[in-house]
Chain A
Amino acid sequence: MTTALGTRVVARNFGYRHASRENPALKDINFEIAPGERILLTGASGAGKSTLLAALAGVLGGSDEGVSTGELLVDAPSIGLVLQDPDSQVIASRIGDDVAFGCENLQIPREEIWPRVERALELVGLDLPLSHPTKYLSGGQKQRLALAGVIAMGARLILLDEPTANLDPQGQKDVVAAVDRVVQETGATLIVVEHRHELWVNIIDRIISITDGEDVQPAELIKVGQLPGAQPSTSKPILWANDLLCTWGGLRSFEVPEGASTVITGPNGAGKSTLALTMGGLLPPKSGQLELSDTVRGGLNTPPHKWRSADLAARIGTVFQDPEHQFVARTVRDELEIGPKIMKVDASERIEELLDRLRLRHLENANPFTLSGGEKRRLSVATALVAAPKLLILDEPTFGQDPETFTELVTMLRELTDNGISIVSVTHDPDFIAALGDHHIEVSAK
């Protein structure tokens, strides 16, 4: 088994421009990293950190896809890259095969492959049989699996691009612990790009800013701004349930107060999303009672999952975890207009108001899929609000976001409750809960 020793990484006036963009993604990047150093790379959103990591890993594409300038040097070709989305990095259906994939590509002889696989899995703390199906892994486990795949290859430079952005708190901790252990055992050089600085600050040596290559002190890092805290609610419930049994999870009994922000919390896999979808009338409950107040019902006597789509949208809005699942039109304006058009409702005033309040006016004619993460999130909230529902349900609204977008989202949601709209959010984000947890619904695994 090889013990990898870290590699030196040097950038001299390095720049890169994608063929499809006008402005270069990276310009005049200069820094020097010693072998075995652990670096946290910071910089504003869009500053090109992902592009830099991709360049280091050699996955940026051929000469027809972009042009590079300057130099980017590493001692060894063995470089590993772990990306943000756990699902898109799984390559095989069994964990052993997934970890072995990199070794196969490096033409390592079969006798050497499996010992490496086992050692790698042990280092990242995945104590599961080699034939364990990858589809049953949690997000945190999938990220650790990807890390195992990288070290089985004997990587001397480990690059991590927002590895914990899409994970729940437990998964985040597990990944950081695994990385710490891996780097300690193998001595590889580490570069992490992450906006959740608190998680990593204890295990890294230096923080480098991508814009000038200078060291950054931990105190200077961008933190989530001061947000007003949650206000416990005493209003009467707008929605309540008694022994509700959803298609997944145990019996639930709870209330949702009107005009306040409720958060649904609980461990991974407990059924939070299923509950949210059931409340939103998008999944039928198996049994039990789910009641709505007259404010929401608006005259309908049947349960929400039986309502016509047009009726549902006017009463309960749902914002999905992945905004792209909701897009149906070619421009931002069309997205807002299509709902009312089909529902045969006049919402022109509301559309203009939403475009302004959610700062989408300058993006009116842009294609929804080309928006940034934060802009997509705002658009998906806008499309839910255009039908003026009294209840808004959000599934993991802070998934994969940076601090600026987060602050903006929280402020916007608080404004909504101030205006009398009830909000229910499925979340595991402690900052979100602190700011918007007027009322809690704990979902346990049973």
Chain B
Amino acid sequence: MASPAMQKTNQPKSSWRVIDIVIASVLGVACGLIFIVWNSIGYAWTTAFHALTPGLGGIAIGIWLLGGVLGGLVIRKPGAAIFVEVVAACVSAALASQFGISTIYSGLAQGIGAEIIFALFLYRRYSLPTTMLAGMGAGGGAIFLEMFFYGNLAKTMSFNIIYSTTVLISGAILAGLLSWYLVRALARTGALDRFAAGREV
């Protein structure tokens, strides 16, 4: 009784393959590591910015929003942005314990923010403007969460306006624009061959 060796069950396009799940996890882990390095690089500067300026510290936040946008852009399936950002948050929380449970909540909110944008485009458009919007969406998630859980609600209106603006800009550029270029550069190395993102370039 011989049967074909390559039997594959037929799955709908939107369901996650094993490669999707593993790569999403791996991207999350890599981003978590990157978050920690980013934090230690500019520690003196960002600390000074956060502590002393009326909200300009938000300008560096974008890197922390990278996971969700990158995840959504590479995997292109529902839930990708949330999954990758949450895994990244868990990894950074596990390795650098000063962050605690709020990091994971932040990750969730930021991931949802990006996910909403990708969902609005029905998971079909992945152009530069969409990606930058997703970065802003993630930023929106961050703003929302920090308002309630980091005490920003208790700060002055001027602080919050400036902070929100810098976060949104940072999200658009450091998460959105950067992700977009990263994915194109990654595709050119052949590392994304098993994904639609890799076959576009």
Contacts and interface: CB of A to CB of B under 8 A. Distances in A.
Question: Is there a contact between chains A and B in the complex with CB atoms less than 8 Å apart?
Answer: yes
A75 B194 contact: no
Given A18-B193, A369-B189, A61 B4 contact: no
A229 interface: no
Interface in B142-188: 185, 188
Contact of B7 (A10, A18, A58, A367): A58
Given A61-B19, A367-B188, A367-B190, A19 B4 contact: no
B6 A77 contact: no
B41 interface: no
A153 to B, nearest CB: 16
Nearest to B190: A370
B2 A74 contact: yes
A87 interface: no
A65 B19 CA distance: 12
A289 B189 CA distance: 43
A422 B4 CA distance: 56
Nearest to A368: B189
Interface residues of B, number: 21
B27 to A, nearest CB: 16
Contacts of B6: 55, 58, 60, 68, 72
Contacts of A120: none
Interface in A38-83: 55-58, 60-65, 68, 71-75, 77, 79
Contact of B193 (A20, A60, A71, A75): A20
B17 A370 contact: no
A62 B7 contact: no
B3 interface: yes
Contacts of B124: none
B40 interface: no
B191 interface: yes
Given A20-B198, A65-B194, A58 B189 contact: no
A77 B17 contact: no
A72 B194 contact: no
Given A330-B188, A367-B188, A62 B11 contact: yes
Contacts of A64: 13
A8 interface: yes
B2 A8 contact: yes
A63 B1 CA distance: 25
A20 B199 contact: yes
Interface string B8-22: 100101000101000
Contacts of B11: 62
Contact of B5 (A61, A73, A369): A73
Contacts of A79: 5
B78 to A, nearest CB: 17
A56 B5 contact: yes
A74 B5 CA distance: 6
Contacts of B199: 19-20
Given A19-B199, A20-B199, A65-B194, A370 B4 contact: no
A359 B162 CA distance: 56
Contact of A73 (B4, B190, B191, B198): B4
A369 B199 CA distance: 16
A118 to B, nearest CB: 28
A280 to B, nearest CB: 24
19 contacts: A10-B2, A19-B199, A20-B198, A58-B6, A61-B194, A62-B11, A65-B194, A72-B4, A72-B6, A73-B2, A73-B3, A73-B4, A74-B2, A77-B3, A79-B5, A330-B185, A369-B188, A369-B191, A370-B188
Interface of B: 1-8, 11, 13, 17, 19, 185, 188-191, 193-194, 198-199
Given A75-B1, A369-B191, 18 more contacts: A55-B5, A57-B5, A58-B5, A58-B7, A60-B6, A61-B17, A61-B194, A62-B17, A63-B8, A71-B4, A73-B2, A73-B4, A73-B5, A77-B3, A79-B5, A330-B185, A367-B190, A369-B188
